[in-house]
Amino acid sequence: MSSFLNRVTRSRSSQASGSVAKDRLKLVLIHDRTDIPPAIMEELRDELMGVIARYVDFVREDVEVHITRESRSSRLVAEVPLRNQPRTRSRR
């Protein structure tokens, strides 16, 4: 979006405010649209890990549960890196 001149003169650290606005909006809307408070997300993450642990071995610290947004719909995505699994299942 920024003009050529801006791209030349602005360093990467001072991102144009328009794109800062866009990033902030995307984040805030993820929460607005799902209405799931962070504490509940934590609980969900813990329970999910409990279930998954019964079937596969995974790296607990690297589990990520978050909500992504596409168009006007949102999607719950869990990333669970598996430990020592030679028959790797494709990870998103």
The residues of the shown chain that bind other proteins, judged by CB under 8 A, are: 1-8, 10, 16-19, 21-22, 24-26, 28-29, 32-33, 71-72
Give the residue with the Cβ less far from other proteins, 1 or 51: 1
Q: Which is nearer to other proteins, 61 or 70 (CB)?
A: 70
Contact 19, 2 (CB under 8 A): yes
Residue appearing with tokens 């990333």 = 79
Please report how close the Cβ of residue 14 comes to other proteins at its closest, in angstroms: 11
| 52 within 8 A of 82, measured Cβ to Cβ | no
Helix, strand or coil, per DSSP, at residue 74? strand
